[in-house]
Amino acid sequence: MKIFKESGFSASGKILSLSDFRLMSDLDEVIFDEKKKQKVITSAEEKYLNMELKVITLWQYRQYWESGVLSHFGEHFHERGRAMLCLGLAEYYERQGRFSDKLADVIWAILEESTWMLPQHSGHTPFGGGKVPPVVGDRYLHGIELASAYLSASMAVIYHYCADILDEISPIIRQRMLYELKRRTIKPFINTNFSWSGVYTKSCNNWCPWCVSNVLLTTALVEEDMAVRERVVSKALDLLDIFVDGYAPDGGCNEGPTYWQGAAGTLFDCLETLYDMTGGKLNLFDNELVRNMGEYIASVNICERSFVNFADGSPKFTLDANLVSRYGEKCGSESLMTFGRYSDSLEDFFFHYGHPYRTLRSLATPSVEGEVEMPKAKVAYYMPYLKVAILRESETPTEGMFLAVKGGHNQESHNHNDVGNFVVYKNGKPVIIDVGVGTYTRDTFGPRRYTIWTMQSRYHNLAMFDGEGEMQGRNYISENEIFDEEKKTYSLNIEKAYHASVGVESYRRTASLAPGIVTVTDEVTLSEEKEMDFVLMSHVRPELNGSAIALAEGCTLTYSEDLTPEIEEFDPVGMDALTKWGSEKLYRIHLKKKAKSGSFTFTVKA
């Protein structure tokens, strides 16, 4: 669905000039919240006023290519970006000159950098990546990727808000900022189709709206040439249509909830910026697909900060609650608005230089005061295109059993081999888990991705046959999915998620929820007798107790009596499991039997 093309909107003659443009134009007056302003000032004072501006060396850049290490270059690069935004806004608010010298030094250091691209993203340049960034004067076009785009937009925000502050030091600072913003962001965006754009493949992920949102903000705040402003907007509309066209009507995000803020969330950033740039002429907030894409994040919330973390997801993360509330308000979604307000009561305010427009909106919105009632959740919810089912025992997220089951295919964005995987929670706390993803490395998005244990079905709640798990690829799928809202059951065939050589002739999984009980039944037929090994993942040590296994949150696992249980403790290499799950070890429950076929039932009781 190409929402921009279908709207019939043309950028020609519809874009406001730089002098007429106003950020957050839907607000009668932009007033930054006093409490939030003070937090920015305090942060600038404590973190950045006396920070050492460390030299970013070529060796640090090359380390990614030599050893796959990401941190050496990135930690200094990101620190500068965060410092620039925080110091700039602090000086804009306070106007006492305390932060202006350090701000100018940070900006100048960023301007002197040869590239604003992270080494792991350096392939997103017209001339290819490598151990040394291919940038020599104006000979080569700069590349655009996530980090370069949001650094650019953050710099544009400071260019806009701190004009008189910087000009008092020297007008050359802003002249140089303008030169680099045009050279590194606006010019390459107009003249190049990057791989993240989806122009060649006709599909893309969160990179597209995230990069576009920051290119739009950069252009909106610094570009005077009307022809250039129109060209940027026109191209942005084309790219965003490619992104939106990859979504099914249910609005489900196949990248998982963790990436919702970078996917649907940044699409919403684009819509707000485009609204501002057109003086309200482009207004697509009432589009049904846009609304469904927003409501997805409330639907996959388990309880408070916990979300269904299929794919490269984290089991807990912090939402920009103000974005969620605003999304709901502008799209006419009461459920999203309510969820956003509740989330806002749990969190501190949002401040992130990766999303500078969103940061400004958060600063201009007072925090929710007082206690907010936890919103009711849907007890049965199914996304027919994403093939994810969610079942709850109670509308109150902190009460009762929760079950989520995933179908789909094994080439989704940020994919794990996890067709048929499920998670179980009790009273909002994890019992049977999806372990999530580890720290990103060079291998995470390369040909060795599925050598990483977190990506393999062997470390999901699925079966192995003689040690063989599911296979990656678009053809490895679920089929014959049946969701019964009334009976609270979801069943699906997953035999095609395994390579033909494994010999899985049929594998139907049925998951159901009843009061205090989650039941999963696997009916399996193989081409020959093999060791069937049904795996369940836990963050708490399971304890064998006769014919049952004690699980987290006081739950008990029972299973078909012909299965032999084993408990495996392992070190989650490459994952900060203590932060994610509160445990330095993780556990696999193995339920095994040598057989050619059979029906096997696993029951988790509260």
Whether residue 367 is contained in a domain is answered as: no
Mean pLDDT of 396-404: 97
Shared domain check, 27 and 162: yes
The full 3-state SS of 525-546, as one line of letters, equals EEEEEEEEEEEEEECCCCEEEC
Mean pLDDT of 154-170: 98
State the pLDDT confidence band at 88, using cuts at 50, 70 and 90: very high
pLDDT score recorded for residue 137: 63
- Say if residue 64's pLDDT is above 90: no
- Say if residue 380's pLDDT is above 80: yes
Q: Is the dihedral of CA 432, 436, 439, 441 positive or negative?
A: positive
For 206-210, 443-447, 476-480, which range has the lowest pLDDT when averaged over its residues? Answer: 443-447
pLDDT score recorded for residue 135: 72
- Say if residue 347's pLDDT is above 90: no
Mean pLDDT of 554-568: 97
Shared domain check, 167 and 37: yes
- Say if residue 444's pLDDT is above 90: no
CATH number of the domain to which 465 belongs = 2.70.98.70
Whether residue 404 is contained in a domain is answered as: yes
Mean pLDDT of 527-533: 98
What is the value of pTM for the model shown?
Answer: 0.94
**pLDDT more than 70, % of the chain:** 99
State the pLDDT confidence band at 279, using cuts at 50, 70 and 90: very high
Whether residue 318 is contained in a domain is answered as: no
- Say if residue 72's pLDDT is above 80: no
Mean pLDDT of 269-282: 97
Strands (E), 239-319: 301-303, 306-307
pLDDT score recorded for residue 583: 94
Shared domain check, 51 and 166: yes
- Say if residue 550's pLDDT is above 70: yes
Structure tokens at 195: 């791989």
pLDDT score recorded for residue 71: 67
> What range defines the domain where residue 216 resides?
3-245+259-278
pLDDT score recorded for residue 440: 86
| Alpha-carbon span 85 to 105, nearest angstrom | 13
279 Cβ contact list (under 8 Å, min separation 6): 16, 20, 25
Cα separation values, 226 from 70, 215, 232, Å: 39, 15, 10
DSSP lists the bridge partners of residue 383 as 388
| Alpha-carbon span 247 to 208, nearest angstrom | 13
pLDDT score recorded for residue 134: 73
pLDDT score recorded for residue 348: 77
Mean pLDDT of 553-566: 97
Whether residue 336 is contained in a domain is answered as: no
Shared domain check, 537 and 388: yes
- Say if residue 21's pLDDT is above 90: yes
Whether residue 18 is contained in a domain is answered as: yes
State the pLDDT confidence band at 474, using cuts at 50, 70 and 90: very high
Query: By 3-state DSSP, what share of the chain in percent is helix, strand and coil, each rounded to 5?
Result: 40, 20, 40
Domains held by the chain: number? 2
Whether residue 290 is contained in a domain is answered as: no
Whether residue 366 is contained in a domain is answered as: no
**pLDDT more than 90, % of the chain:** 84
For 20-24, 72-76, 381-385, 507-511, which range has the lowest pLDDT when averaged over its residues? Answer: 72-76
Whether residue 162 is contained in a domain is answered as: yes
Shared domain check, 224 and 83: yes
Task: Give the count of beta carbons closer than 10 Å to the beta carbon of residue 419.
Answer: 29
| Alpha-carbon span 501 to 466, nearest angstrom | 11
Output the average pLDDT for the chain.
Answer: 94
Task: Give the count of beta carbons closer than 10 Å to the beta carbon of residue 27.
Answer: 12
pLDDT score recorded for residue 116: 94
Mean pLDDT of 308-330: 93
State the pLDDT confidence band at 519, using cuts at 50, 70 and 90: very high
